[in-house]
Amino acid sequence: MTELIPAPRSATAGSGEVRLTRRSRLHADTATQGVAHWLGAALRQATGLPLPEGRGPDDAEGGIGLRLAPGLGPEEYRLVSDGSGVLVEGGTAAGVFWGAQTLRQLLGPDAYRRAPLDRDRVWTVPHLTIQDAPRFRWRGLMLDVARHFMPKEGVLRYLDLMAAHKLNVFHFHLTDDQGWRIEIQRHPRLTEIGSWRARTKTGHRASPLWEDKPHGGYYTRDDIREIVAYAAERHITVVPEIDVPGHSQAAIAAYPELGNTDVIDTTSLSVWDTWGINPNVLAPTDNTLRFYEGVFEEVLELFPSEFVHVGGDECPKDQWRRSETAQARIRELGLADEDELQSWFIKHFDAWLSARGRRLIGWDEILEGGLAEGAAVSSWRGYAGGIAAARAGHDVVMCPEQQVYLDHRQDPGPEEPVPIGWVRTLEDVYRFEPVPPELTPDEARHVLGTQANLWTEVMEDHARVDYQAFPRLAAFAEVAWSALPAPAERDFAGFQRRMAAHYGRLDALGVAYRPPTGPLPWQRRPGVLGRPVDGPPPSR
């Protein structure tokens, strides 16, 4: 009856069922009209029922009501299915939306299809009462579209998949050494040159294989507006990432003056075609700062999110050590070394964003040298960065690579495609705990939530992304939403039972997930070299 994912806080069964018929109506108050439009469209295409919308409840058979309810939290909802129909109440429209997602699950897997399979089918919702609310306010998914570009339709699809799992933050990794994916009007060469590469390494960077054809693509400003609006309709916030000062070769290839021109011939650089940590980083010059201020001005126009991600990770300092321009800046600013120079670079944009009412977030390397009060940290190199940030009073999103990097392999078997990193099974992800026990209750309040990351070096299309994401993203969604017990006490067998039903939903959605029995023949990548890491990952 309640094979729901993520698991709700409480579900109490009744003794009957609500039948949706051609007489059933969908009614909403003014504040929930947007949710009604979304739910009506989804259910009409799946069921073939008319479900006309109205502004207030009526006595129509098997009606669905949506409304706000005083006393419920911002994303909290209550779903009641009884003799009078189905009523979904929420503290805000977001809460009602999450309740509508639960209602869709209760209708069965075919409620996720785009056309009715049987127009004579009887659609039912069991009588029950569900009370539910999320554990964390930040329930995120990071998608890297820089290494392998995902066309707009694929991004919109992932927003739907996120919504179906009650995830609400889409971290959009838009720039890197291998590609620049967002149109910037004042700097057109970022997409004219920086959005495509001549060829692509196939597999891990040690692989001898190449795909010898151009790869690229980017999102126009209108594409971005559409993506942000589509996400907002699903109560998902889009957080853009523009990488500085490392991971920037695509930008330098487009505008060579951004690089360390007194150390290397930056005009010879092209968009990078392989993987790893790139030595070509931005020059710490006023010209570079002004250039990226212009980039961020356009980014702020397109993304209304509170946070803007600036990367800040994996910035080798070798060119700065050899650059007289960089060394002169260190002396001018009275800095101790190149590490403090990177901190100065990040702090500049921290202050710049703060002055415009936004907040900087970056990978945990940005802690080195200190942060401004409002900045937040994505803790990826384990838990240590998040613990240090929370103890220093900074907000944290926990996304440790040894737990929730979904590009890492799911099984030690030889048929796993392009195996990267540690083995992280479905159960491993289900037992992930975002809040380290070392934190005091006051420190733990700085943990905004958690995020799973999908880096796409070895994911060339949406089917490969699906395979790496699912079913583990379903387990992650439950960790992010549900009030679960301590990791060792979690009922993984119960989760597996619920997943048996959830696979039917994923099938209806066309998700190319990894089957529990292992990869299907067409999901394998024989002969493509990965980078498996043996043994268990470090615990911290």
CA distance 95 to 299: 28
CA distance 361 to 170: 14
> Which residue, 443, 403, 409, 437, is CA-closest to 537?
403
CA distance 363 to 369: 14
CA dihedral in degrees (436, 440, 441, 444; nearest 10)? -40
CA distance 385 to 307: 19
314 is known as an active-site residue: yes
> Cβ distance 247 to 278 under 8 Å?
yes
407 is known as an active-site residue: no
The residue annotated as part of the active site, out of 89, 132, 144, 176, is 176
The residue to which tokens 């739910």 are assigned:
39
**Burial annotation 303-312 (CB, 10 A radius, 16+ → b, else e):** bebebbbbbb
Q: Which two tokens stand for residue 268?
A: 């010879």
| Ramachandran category for residue 127: left, alpha or beta (phi over 0 → left; psi -120 to 50 → alpha) | beta
CA 403 to chain centroid: 15
Name the maximum alpha-carbon separation found in the chain.
Answer: 78
CA distance 229 to 238: 9
CA distance 146 to 133: 34
176 is known as an active-site residue: yes
Neighbour count for residue 514 (Cβ, 10 Å): 21
> Which residue, 408, 411, 483, 485, is CA-closest to 452?
408
> Cβ distance 233 to 226 under 8 Å?
no
The residue annotated as part of the active site, out of 165, 247, 309, 502, is 247
CA distance 398 to 540: 12
The residue annotated as part of the active site, out of 3, 53, 262, 314, is 314
CA distances from 379 to 11, 158, 538 (A): 34, 23, 15
Q: What is the DSSP letter of 515?
A: P
Q: Residues with catalytic annotation?
A: 176, 247, 314
